[in-house]
Amino acid sequence: MRVLLLFIDGFGLGSNNPEINPIVRFGLPTFNQLFGQPMTYDIGSILTPERCIIPIDATLGVPGLPQSATGQAAILTGLNTAKIMGSHMQAFPGPQLANIITETNIMKKLTAIGLPATSANMYTPNYFELVAKRKRRHSAITLAALSTGLPLRSLPEMEINEAVYQDITNATLPDFGIGHLPVLSPRQAACNLVNISRKYSFSIFEYFQTDRAGHKQDWQHAENILGILDEFIDTVYKQLPADTLMIITSDHGNFEDMGVKTHTLNKVPLIALGYQAQKTVGAITDLTGIVPALVAVLGKDDLCD
Ligand SMILES: [Zn+2]
């Protein structure tokens, strides 16, 4: 069994109101087809053996708006990191949270029991230089990927279709001085992601344009993003190998309410598609439930087959 986790930053379940929710205004036909209704908080839980959506809590019982550093850390470690840290922590983990992520994340846990884990994201060649100059900081997901001991993917991997850039299509790479790579269709990028996932027990791809569009209340970017995401997710789902479970989730709401610049208190979707979907995610209620469920099913699979 394999797991492919598509992490979408700031992607909650909002109201059925096209005035504030771009998912309602522009649509996500793939999810409508999968679940028979728009992806709003009215959808509730839908649990079938190979197709599930569960609204899960991202606030973790801690006051204030949920944030990326602690939210992603909870998804990756299964710990209530907001409670441990005493508050929701924004954007990039500081040293204490970074230590928790590095020591206890799912990618490291799986690697330690012989189940290889990878991040499919491409990092620009100067990424580590920018981190050294304190112009960039590692996200929680990057810290988890680094803890496996495997190198991050960069241009050589992208050139042989074994990486996916954070914007999915490579369209923004020229903004970072990388102009020689072709712009990919979301479909091609999705095929690259699926092909990566065939070689690992656990693969993760981090997408954060949703959070950016939400903070900027940028409707045009939101429409563009939804078109890309729809084709990307539809293709990953249709190409998914029979032994693979695809999980889609988020760290907090934001994109689904363009009426505010901030994150939201909305629940986030936990979507599970494919192999063992309902058995794996059926009992999860918040961000901390994802790791124990995945480790249980991947570890068991390893022992039994
Ligand atoms: Zn944000």
67 alpha-carbon distance from chain centroid? 14
> Residue 50 Cα, ligand 1 centroid: separation in angstroms?
31
Structural domain boundaries, residue 210: 2-304
Encoded tokens for 80: 């209530």
> Residue 213 Cα, ligand 1 centroid: separation in angstroms?
9
> Residue 145 and residue 262: Cα distance in Å, rounded?
28
173 has a pLDDT exceeding 90: yes
Per-residue pLDDT of 48-87, as tens digits, reads: 999 999 999 999 999 999 999 999 999 999 999 999 999 9
> Residue 8 Cα, ligand 1 centroid: separation in angstroms?
11
Question: What number is the average pLDDT over the span 221-248?
Answer: 98
**Residue 96: what pLDDT?**
96
Per-residue pLDDT of 141-165, as tens digits, reads: 999 999 999 999 999 999 999 999 9
> Residue 146 Cα, ligand 1 centroid: separation in angstroms?
22
Of 238, 294, 303, nearest in space to 2 by CA: 294
302 has a pLDDT exceeding 90: no
Share in percent of the chain as helix, strand, coil (round to 5): 45, 15, 40
Per-residue pLDDT of 247-265, as tens digits, reads: 999 999 999 999 999 999 9
Confidence of residue 111 (pLDDT cuts 50, 70, 90): very high
Q: How many structural domains is the chain composed of?
A: 1
> Residue 136 Cα, ligand 1 centroid: separation in angstroms?
16
> Residue 68 Cα, ligand 1 centroid: separation in angstroms?
6
> Residue 251 Cα, ligand 1 centroid: separation in angstroms?
9
- What CATH number did the domain enclosing 64 receive? 3.40.720.10
304 has a pLDDT exceeding 50: no
Model pTM above 0.85: yes
Tokens 């439930």 identify what position? 289
> Residue 145 Cα, ligand 1 centroid: separation in angstroms?
21
